[in-house]
Amino acid sequence: ENNFIFVGDAFSIPKSDNSHSEDAYFITEKAIGVSDGVGGWNKYGIDSSLFSNSLMKECQRASLRISLNNNRD
């Protein structure tokens, strides 16, 4: 059996004081994920933070579902 310990932390830094970070991440016991928002989308009226945050939220949910299903076996 391979055992390992991951100790980590993360934070998002906005590009300016008047904005929010376009990047997103999640950390669980079994998985980590990072999504780099595409700031250039702003000039087309698209908030890339919504995409990156939604993507990481769904990835976190999926990883938790997979982990729960694996623990049932």
Q: State pLDDT tens for residues 11-65.
A: 887 777 777 788 899 998 889 999 987 777 878 888 888 889 999 999 999 999 9
Nearest to 51 by CA among 62, 42, 64: 42
> Which residue has better confidence, 5 or 57?
57
The encoded tokens of residue 37 equal 């928002």
- Over its C-alpha atoms, the chain yields an Rg (Å, rounded) of 15
> What single DSSP character describes residue 42?
G
> Which residue has better confidence, 57 or 2?
57
Q: Return the bridge partners of 26, or none.
A: 33
pLDDT of residue 57: 96
Write down the pTM of the prediction: 0.74
pLDDT of residue 48: 84
Q: How far is CA 73 from CA 3, 21, 24, 36, 60, in A?
A: 19, 39, 32, 34, 21
